[in-house]
Chain A
Amino acid sequence: QKEVEQNSGPLSVPEGAIASLNCTYSDRGSQSFFWYRQYSGKSPELIMSIYSNGDKEDGRFTAQLNKASQYVSLLIRDSQPSDSATYLCAVSESGSARQLTFGSGTQLTVLP
């Protein structure tokens, strides 16, 4: 069974610090990798996608992918209290439906 593992947390960082979220996956055939943010009581929203090895930056967010190590991470720079949420790592299978397998999430709290 395909698995996606995340550091379980919870993770607390002070405002302005860098938050680092990590994820490993079991299926070497995985094609695409995503980070979703989920506020309490809300639905997940996509914040980053990454498809090839290396770094991808979008504003304060940087996703990092290492397919050889089956590892994907998300860095949040200059963390803000509004970043406090659960972050879900998701991995896409190949095939027409490309269904996502999600990790259990890491709860991040940014302390003012």
Chain B
Amino acid sequence: NAGVTQTPKFQVLKTGQSMTLQCAQDMNHNSMYWYRQDPGMGLRLIYYSASEGTTDKGEVPNGYNVSRLNKREFSLRLESAAPSQTSVYFCASRDEKGDGYTFGSGTRLTVV
């Protein structure tokens, strides 16, 4: 099915461990985004990529890095996980013809 695919769906990390969240879309969208969602705080933008080869910081970039590997894939890396990074992470992409996002199913990350 066409859409945005995120892996993994669940992950538990120990403080200080690193990991990469993967995201891929097959809709030929230029723009891709990473958000985190915490209870009562809505979705906050971590990083985004307006096109292949470009990335920019969002509202809460500290502790994260991203890579726009190609037009399809946009990964999010936690170099040294902290308990404050416990959250649900959503990847999204945007159709150039409109403004609506398509979201992936999310990654539930717990850092202990």
Contact = CB atoms under 8 A, between A and B. Distances in A.
Contact of A49 (B41, B43, B100): B100
Interface residues of B, number: 26
A99 B94 CA distance: 9
Interface in B37-83: 40-45, 48-51, 56, 58-59
Given A46-B101, A105-B42, 7 more contacts: A32-B99, A44-B43, A45-B103, A88-B42, A100-B101, A104-B40, A104-B42
Contacts, number: 60
Contact of A96 (B35, B43, B51): B51
B31 interface: yes
A95 B31 CA distance: 12
Chain A, interface size category, equals: 20 to 34
A98 B106 CA distance: 21
A12 B39 CA distance: 19
B42 A98 contact: no
A103 B42 contact: yes
A14 to B, nearest CB: 26
B98 A88 contact: no
